Amino acid sequence: MSEGPPVSEAAGTVPVMTEPVQAWWARRQFSRDREVPYAVGTYRAAWAAYPELIRQYHPELNHGIALSQVPLGADVLLCWECRIGHRFAATPTEQRERPGRVRRQSAWCPDCSALARPQPVVLGEARAIPRRPRTPAAPLCTRTPQLATGTAFASECAPAPASAAEAALRASLAARIAFTPGLTAIKVARPFFRHTEVWPDIILPELRIALEYDTVGRHGLEHVGTREKTDLRKDRAIRAAGWEVVRIRTGRLQPLGPHDLQMSSISERGVDRIVDALRRIRGPLLVDAYLTDR
């Protein structure tokens, strides 16, 4: 590995089988009986969903091996360098799951995350810092109405639309499909973050289909890493309530479910693809009955 600032270990315990990148590459050369086990670009599409990690990875710090030659689940210790200049070692999985619930760019670097955390203040000679009592589990929100599981309704707790693109997609769909407007939540059986309701981006109650519009966001933190697991959990809750989910995945985000669509942006052709997906789920006979341009 090239000379440079000391490399700090990433937070968490490194699995026993994790190897340095040079040893991992040599083992893959042997097991695959190839000088180049994975060609450059093999995993480019998969890594494209993590633009910040692409910026943090430098082949010269990893014996010339490109990031697109490394599988996302490889048990290999790679060297990364954040925008500030911190260098640290972490596996691809550790890096992809690093942001968690934090919505700042520093979340991609363990050193930046440590610096961003508030430090305890020590007064006088008192050095012992008392432990905080455990915070009890937050109670469920009481504003969710008592409705049957799977009922769509207008929620008091639903957040406002996240982006102009989402609002534009809603307007484009409203021009093509007749559906009840103003519904923002679906009643679910199990609690989902203190609520027994979930808030899809767009709800088509007549078809019992929820649409989600996914981007990586300004800092490359949305719908990646552990947030992807939250999306999957939300999708399971919606399906358990008798609905289906279609995610519009932009910014090279990979599909999560069987009906998800990858799009660079929303266009007339994109709306046609969404309508076709609705037909595949509920059948042309039902979906076409709600089309306004028949």
Question: What values do phi and psi take at 28, rounded to 5?
Answer: -65, -35
Spatial contact of 37 and 28, defined as CB atoms under 8 Å apart: yes
Residue 261 belongs to a domain: yes
Residue 82 belongs to a domain: yes
Residue 138 belongs to a domain: no
Residue 112 belongs to a domain: yes
Between 29-43, 126-140, 159-173, 185-199, the lowest mean confidence (pLDDT) is in 126-140
Instruction: Using pLDDT thresholds of 50, 70 and 90, give the confidence band for residue 1.
Output: very low
Residue 204 belongs to a domain: yes
pLDDT of 127: 53
Whether residue 150 has pLDDT greater than 70? yes
Residue 205 belongs to a domain: yes
Interstrand relation of 87-90 and 19-20 (parallel, antiparallel or unpaired) = unpaired
Residue 52 belongs to a domain: yes
pLDDT of 121: 56
Number of domains within the chain = 2
Whether residue 171 has pLDDT greater than 50? yes
Closest CA to 24 of 85, 94, 71, 57: 71
Residue 189 belongs to a domain: yes
Domain boundaries, position 41: 8-116
* Percent with pLDDT over 70 in the chain: 83
In the chain, the largest separation of any two C-alpha atoms, in whole Å, equals: 79
pLDDT digits (tens, 9 = 90+) for 226-274: 788 889 999 999 999 999 999 999 877 889 999 999 998 888 999 999 9
Query: Is the model's pTM score more than 0.75?
Result: no
Spatial contact of 233 and 181, defined as CB atoms under 8 Å apart: no
Q: Are residues 110 and 156 in the same domain?
A: no
Closest CA to 274 of 215, 225, 212, 218: 212
Whether residue 17 has pLDDT greater than 90? no
Whether residue 220 has pLDDT greater than 90? no
Q: Are residues 192 and 279 in the same domain?
A: yes
Whether residue 179 has pLDDT greater than 50? yes
Domain boundary among 116, 135, 169: 116
pLDDT digits (tens, 9 = 90+) for 92-124: 988 888 776 655 667 778 888 777 766 565 555
Q: Are residues 76 and 177 in the same domain?
A: no
pLDDT of 96: 85
Report the first-to-last Cα separation within the chain, whole angstroms: 63
pLDDT of 160: 84
